[in-house]
């Protein structure tokens, strides 16, 4: 039995779709755990076992995880309270142990041990909790940045024609979220026993200026990148109304990129899925109108 947590989120739904449609896993072999079972009525109708579960309620989570052999733990999304996610993830790992799950897979972060992203320690801490848990095996899916992250910032930048960046010439080996979900589904359904770490990137890496040039070409709108110091970027976001703690998180993304935290193309995506990841230019063509707003 394959279990997916966070099943109603973008990544969870895409993973479930790949299990069912790409990998042809029978619906009866899939458990979907979510805080909002009502959002997954369409999967329940197909025969997926949809269960309620919240990482803030460990005891109920043990019941929700019962019967699962392999479990994909999708990282939660609360960026406003540092450290909270790690506690949630640790509760989920303990619940998996107690429920007798054999293998846990986790959506981690590229270069988690050296990343300058402010919440990287939460991913590393979760990896360590999984490594020291009483499980038969684990798979750490160290995901690069989603192409979809461009929706945070690029529409506003296109509106003004200027993108402020502190990422310098750092390269980003980003990848479509749907491809990362496909890789997670493939790893989940592989049945591979043991201890694995995959770094999942796109097929190419780009500087911020190169990304802006491709966005500009796809949307037919001008977009100039202006490099600013990290502190200037943070203050600019705060002046534009972004709460200070969140501005620090976003600024750490550029800091990380400048320091090489998102650089380096790997072949792990193809190794897991057998296919090439979607090219950035192809994704841009499909999403240009939405990015242009
Ligand atoms: N690599 C990247 O570029 C990147 C970008 C954005 C996010 N992420 C990470 O990847 C995760 C999945 O991305 P996404 O696009 O699917 O985000 P999303 O659509 O915002 O989904 C948020 C996820 O968090 C889960 N969640 C939140 N609180 C929870 C709790 N208390 N207990 C259990 N689950 C909880 C949700 O599950 P339910 O609502 O179904 O319970 C859902 O799966 C994010 O949560 C974040 O950690 C990575």
* Ligand 1, atom nearest to 110 Cα: 1
**Residue 143 pLDDT:** 98
Atom 13 of ligand 1, nearest CA residue: 11
Q: Give the homologous superfamily in CATH for domain 2-145+174-203+264-278.
A: NAD(P)-binding Rossmann-like Domain (3.40.50.720)
Q: Which of 8, 9, 122 to mutate to test the pocket of ligand 1 (most atoms within 8 A of CB)?
A: 9
Ligand 1 centre to CA of 73 (Å) is 10
3-state secondary structure of 226: strand
**Residue 243 pLDDT:** 94
* Ligand 1, atom nearest to 109 Cα: 1
**Residue 81 pLDDT:** 85
What does each C-alpha distance from 279 to 80, 122, 171, 205, 222 come to in angstroms? 32, 30, 16, 11, 22
Ligand 1 centre to CA of 8 (Å) is 9
Q: Which of 4, 55, 74 to mutate to test the pocket of ligand 1 (most atoms within 8 A of CB)?
A: 74
Exposed/middle/buried for residue 229 (C-beta within 10 Å: 0-12, 13-18, 19+)? exposed
**65 half-sphere exposure, CB direction, 13 A CA radius:** 29
With a cut of 50, list the residues of the chain below it in pLDDT.
Answer: none
Segment 23-55, tens digit of pLDDT: 999 999 999 999 999 999 999 999 999 999 999
pTM confidence score:
0.98
**Under 8 Å between Cβ of 40 and 32:** yes
User: Which among 96, 97, 118 is positioned nearest to 109, based on CA atoms?
Assistant: 118
**Under 8 Å between Cβ of 269 and 277:** yes
**198 half-sphere exposure, CB direction, 13 A CA radius:** 24
For residue 59, what are the contacts with CB-CB under 8 A and spacing of at least 6? none
Residues with CB under 6 A from ligand 1: 5-12, 34-36, 54-56, 74-77, 88, 107, 143, 145-146, 149, 177
Residue 277 DSSP code: P
Atom 12 of ligand 1, nearest CA residue: 11
Domain ranges of the chain: 2-145+174-203+264-278
Tokens standing for residue 289? 């109108």
270: left (phi over 0), alpha (psi -120 to 50) or beta: alpha
Ligand 1 centre to CA of 287 (Å) is 21
């Amino acid at each position: 039995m394959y279990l997916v947590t966070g099943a109603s989120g973008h990544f969870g739904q895409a993973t479930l779709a790949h299990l069912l449609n790409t990998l042809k896993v029978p619906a009866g072999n899939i458990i979907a755990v979510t805080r909002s079972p009502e959002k997954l009525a369409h999967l329940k109708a197909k025969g997926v076992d949809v269960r309620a579960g919240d990482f803030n309620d460990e005891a109920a989570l043990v019941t929700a995880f019962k019967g699962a052999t392999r479990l994909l733990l999708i990282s939660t999304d609360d960026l406003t309270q540092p450290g909270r996610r790690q506690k949630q993830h640790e509760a989920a790992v303990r619940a998996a142990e107690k429920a007798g799950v054999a293998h846990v897979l986790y959506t981690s972060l590229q270069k988690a041990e050296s990343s300058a992203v402010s919440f990287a320690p939460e991913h590393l801490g979760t990896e360590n909790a999984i490594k020291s848990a009483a499980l038969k095996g684990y798979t750490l899916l160290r995901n690069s940045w989603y192409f979809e992250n461009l929706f945070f910032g690029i529409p506003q930048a296109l509106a003004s024609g200027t993108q402020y960046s502190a990422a310098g010439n750092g390269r980003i080996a980003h990848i479509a979220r749907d491809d990362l979900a496909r890789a997670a589904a493939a790893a989940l359904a592989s049945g591979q026993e043991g201890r694995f770490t995959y770094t999942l990137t796109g097929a190419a890496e780009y500087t911020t200026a190169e990304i802006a040039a491709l966005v500009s070409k796809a949307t037919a709108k001008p977009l100039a990148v202006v490099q600013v110091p990290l502190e200037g970027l943070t203050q600019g976001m705060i002046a534009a109304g972004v709460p200070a703690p969140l501005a620090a998180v976003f600024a750490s993304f550029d800091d990380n990129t400048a320091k090489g935290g998102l650089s380096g193309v790997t072949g792990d995506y193809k190794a897991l899925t057998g296919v090439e990841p979607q090219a950035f230019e192809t994704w841009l063509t499909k999403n240009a109108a939405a990015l242009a707003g």
